[in-house]
């Protein structure tokens, strides 16, 4: 059974040490057909790299989504998790045989992040600028209190 490769391993063609010991050549990308690295053959989503940090009032997530139009990103949030999905589509203007070096990742990607605290789904914001997606997720104020008026008949 083939081990699932990380986004970095797919991107760079790196081989894990346990794969190297089992006979895979670590001098280059693992290939399946011709000269194409298996990163191009796999149908599973690549995993986005993310930065996640806390401020006193919100959780912020940053990730690079260059090459994807903002309206083609799928960002789903719940109170305790965020899932980002998209796809980088390559315009085939050059034959695979004409490439000297090819490292850019093309295809679908996704990432689910479990959040350390509950957030306000309705107040969350997403913005993209120069290929950087920034999600601002306001934390729920569990100490917030409100008074309810009791109505009579």
CATH number for 88: 2.60.40.790
Residues 92 and 124 in one domain: yes
Query: Do 119 and 49 share a domain, yes or no?
Result: yes
Residue range(s) defining the domain that contains residue 130: 45-138
DSSP state of 119: B
Q: Are residues 52 and 108 in the same domain?
A: yes
Encode pLDDT of 113-148 as tens digits. Answer: 999 999 999 999 999 999 999 999 999 877 777 778
Number of domains in the chain: 2
Rounded CA-CA distance 114/79 in Å is: 10
Question: Does residue 33 have a pLDDT over 50?
Answer: no
In this predicted model, what pLDDT tens digit does every residue of 45-99 receive, in sequence order?
788 899 999 999 999 999 999 888 898 999 999 999 999 999 988 777 888 788 8
63 with 99, same domain? yes
Whether residue 68 sits in one domain with residue 15: no
Spatial distance between the Cα atoms of 33 and 30, rounded to a whole number of angstroms? 10
Q: How many CB atoms lie within 10 A of CB 2?
A: 8
Nearest to 136, CA basis, from 74, 53, 48: 53
Determine whether 22 is exposed, middle or buried from the number of CB atoms within 10 Å of its CB (0-12, 13-18, 19+).
exposed
Could you tell me which residue, 125 or 15, shows the higher pLDDT? 125
pLDDT at 132: 95
**The residue count for the chain:** 153
């Amino acid at each position: 059974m083939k081990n699932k490769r990380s986004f970095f391993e797919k991107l760079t063609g790196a081989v894990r040490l346990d794969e190297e010991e089992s006979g895979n050549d670590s001098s280059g990308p693992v290939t399946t057909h011709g000269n194409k690295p298996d990163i191009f053959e796999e149908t599973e989503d690549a995993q986005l790299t993310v930065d996640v940090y806390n401020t006193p009032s919100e959780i912020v997530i940053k990730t690079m989504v260059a090459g994807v139009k903002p309206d083609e990103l799928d960002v789903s949030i719940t109170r305790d998790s965020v899932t980002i999905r998209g796809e980088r589509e390559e315009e085939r203007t050059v034959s695979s045989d004409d490439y000297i070096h090819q490292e850019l990742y093309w295809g679908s990607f996704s990432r689910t992040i479990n959040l350390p605290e509950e957030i306000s789904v309705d107040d969350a914001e997403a913005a993209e600028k120069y290929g950087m997606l920034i999600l601002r997720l306001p934390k729920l104020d569990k100490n917030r209190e409100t008074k309810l008026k009791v109505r009579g008949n």
